[in-house]
Amino acid sequence: MKAARVALFMGLGGLVFSLVQPAQTFAKPVPVVTDIRVGQIDGATRLVLDISKSVTYKVFLLANPNRVVIDLPAVGWRLPQRPLPKNIGILGKLRYGLFQPGTTRVVVDVRQPVKISDALLLAPADQHSYRIVLDLKAVSAQMFSRHVSKPALVVAAREGDSATSSERQAWQNRSGMLVPPSRSASNTRSEGRSAVRSQNGSVAHSPFQLPPRKPKYVKRRKHIIVLDPGHGGADPGAVSLKGIYEKHITLAAAREFKAQLEKTGRYKVLLTRTRDVFVKLRERVEFARDAKADIFISLHADKIRNPRIRGLSVHTLSEKASDREAAELAERENKVDLIVGVDLSNESKDVTNILIDLAQRETMNQSARFATLLVRELKRETKLLRNTHRFAGFAVLKAPDVPSVLLEMGFLSNRYDERNLRRKAYRAKLAKSVVRAVDRYFSRIEEAKR
C-alpha cells in the first residue's frame, strides 16, 4: 500500500481533493479535522475548522482570483457526510488537500474582496475540540490589494492548551458559530486565542492560557539566490549601435549583484553561467530548481526600434503562460520532481494538474510580491518604464516552485541606457536596489514564520 494516496471526490462545495494517510505510517497520530462550518457573525463571515489537536497554522490572501489560504501541518480528514459549505456570506466555495510534504492547504474562494479580520485557535470547550476560527470581512478592491501584499498571519500553538470547566461554560454555540453570550466580537478575539502573531509581530495571549515558551535559537541557513545572465556564447542577445553585446552587460551585472548580495553574509548566490557560454533556457530553470533556489532573477537589456524609449522593467509570469506550462508539465512522462519533494509519477492526470496549479499559483504570487519590492527599490535609483511590473510568458520564469522575475535593465537601443549599463558605478547602484528588495522580501517571510 502506498504511504499516501490522493482521493478525488465531487461534492456540492466544489471539487475537493484530500490526502488519505494510513495511521501506521506516522510515529504519532496526526491532527484530524472533523468538521468545517461557516456562518455570519457580527458583519463577518466566520469559518470554523474543528481539529483534534493544537496546531500552528498560517493564513494569507491571494489575488486573481481572490482567495483566502490556510496552511496547516499534515492533517487527516474525517468530515461529516454532508456537502462542504458553499455560497455563505463572503465565501463562495472551498477545497483542501496536500500542498507539499508536511503542509495541508485549505483554499477558500471568496465572492468579493476581503480582509482577515481575525484568526484564532480556540482551546477545547464543552463538546468542542480545538477550533481554528477565521473571520473574514468585505473590503474595497484597493484595500484588498494592500492586504494581499502583507505577509502571512501566523497562529502559533502551544502544548497544554486547555480551558477550565468555568471557562468552558462561558462559551456558547450560536447557530453553529462560537461566540461568548454576553461579550462583543472584539472581546472574543482578545480572550479566545491561544497565541496570535499580528502583522507587526506582537503576540496576544488568552488570560487563561499558559505563558509562551522561549523560542529556541535556530541557526538560519543562507537563502539561495540564482542570478541568470541572459544570453551567452553563440547567442549575443541585443547589440547596441556601438557594438555592445547584451550577453556581456548581463554577465557583468550578475557578477556585481552577486558580490553585493554575498557581502551581506545572508545569501548564497549562484550564476547560471559564469563565462561567455550558451545555456539553454530550460537548463537555466532546472539549474535554479536543482539548487533549491529561494529566488531566481534573470537579467536582460533589450533593444527596440524607438531609440528614445528608455528605462527598467520587471516581468513575472502571466496567468495564460502559467496555465499552458502547468498543462505541459502534467503531460510529461517524468513527474517525479515537478514539485520539489512530491512524487506525482503514480497520480492521475486530474490530481497532478490540481497540485501543480496550486504550487505554481503560490509561486506566481510570491514572484509578484518580490517584483513589487524590486520596482519600489529601483525607483529610488534610476528611471523606470511606465507600468514597470509587467507580465509575460518568458520560459525562464516557468519554474513551478521557484519565485522568479526577469529584470530588463534598460534598452541598448537608447544611448543613455547603454552608457549607464556600461558603467560599473551604475551597475553597483542597481545591485544595491536588488539587495534592498531581497532583504525586504525575506524579512517579511521570516517575520511571518516567527
With residue 356 as reference, give the H or E element that holds it: helix 349-379
Rounded distance between C-alpha atoms, residue 105 and residue 70, angstroms: 6
Q: Is the pLDDT of residue 311 over 60?
A: yes
pLDDT at 253: 97
Q: Is the pLDDT of residue 190 over 50?
A: no
Query: What is the identity of the amino acid at 75?
Result: V
Rounded distance between C-alpha atoms, residue 393 and residue 187, angstroms: 48
Average pLDDT of 329-354? Answer: 49
Average pLDDT of 248-262? Answer: 97
pLDDT band at 320 (very low <50, low <70, confident <90, very high): low
Q: Is the pLDDT of residue 85 over 80?
A: yes
pLDDT at 296: 97
Q: Is the pLDDT of residue 417 over 80?
A: yes
pLDDT band at 158 (very low <50, low <70, confident <90, very high): low
More confident residue, 323 or 366: 366
pLDDT band at 344 (very low <50, low <70, confident <90, very high): low
Q: Is the pLDDT of residue 229 over 60?
A: yes
pLDDT at 165: 34
Q: Using one digit for the tens of pLDDT, what is the confidence trace for 45-83?
A: 999 999 999 999 999 999 888 999 999 998 888 888 888
Q: Is the pLDDT of residue 276 over 50?
A: yes
Q: Using one digit for the tens of pLDDT, what is the confidence trace for 394-416?
A: 888 888 889 999 999 999 999 99
Lowest mean pLDDT among 56-60, 127-131, 427-431: 127-131
pLDDT at 28: 63
Q: Is the pLDDT of residue 298 over 90?
A: yes
pLDDT at 92: 92
Q: Is the pLDDT of residue 275 over 80?
A: yes
pLDDT at 335: 41
Q: Which of 151, 64, 17, 101 minimizes the C-alpha distance to 361?
A: 64
Rounded distance between C-alpha atoms, residue 184 and residue 89, angstroms: 20
pLDDT band at 142 (very low <50, low <70, confident <90, very high): confident
pLDDT band at 151 (very low <50, low <70, confident <90, very high): confident
Q: Is the pLDDT of residue 325 over 90?
A: no
The sign one gets for the Cα dihedral 140, 58, 320, 65 is: negative
Q: Is the pLDDT of residue 130 over 70?
A: yes
What would the DSSP string read from start to end of 104-173? EEEEEEESS-EEEEEEEEEPPBTTB-EEEEEEEEE--HHHHHHHHTSPPEEE---TT----HHHHHH-EE
Q: Is the pLDDT of residue 32 over 50?
A: yes
Average pLDDT of 350-368? Answer: 74
pLDDT band at 301 (very low <50, low <70, confident <90, very high): very high
pLDDT at 350: 65
Rounded distance between C-alpha atoms, residue 400 and residue 261, angstroms: 24
Q: Is the pLDDT of residue 445 over 90?
A: no
Average pLDDT of 309-335? Answer: 61
Lowest mean pLDDT among 7-21, 242-256, 273-287: 7-21
pLDDT band at 153 (very low <50, low <70, confident <90, very high): confident
Predicted structure pTM score: 0.51
Q: Is the pLDDT of residue 1 over 70?
A: no
**Structural domains in the chain, sorted by start:** 5-205 (2.60.40.3500), 223-449 (3.40.630.40)
Rounded distance between C-alpha atoms, residue 352 and residue 60, angstroms: 24
Average pLDDT of 322-332? Answer: 42
pLDDT band at 345 (very low <50, low <70, confident <90, very high): low
Q: Is the pLDDT of residue 279 over 60?
A: yes
pLDDT at 356: 63
Q: Are the beta carbons of 314 and 387 closer than 8 angstroms?
A: no
The count of residues in the chain is: 450
pLDDT band at 353 (very low <50, low <70, confident <90, very high): low
Q: Which of 365, 400, 397, 448 minimizes the C-alpha distance to 145?
A: 365
pLDDT band at 426 (very low <50, low <70, confident <90, very high): very high
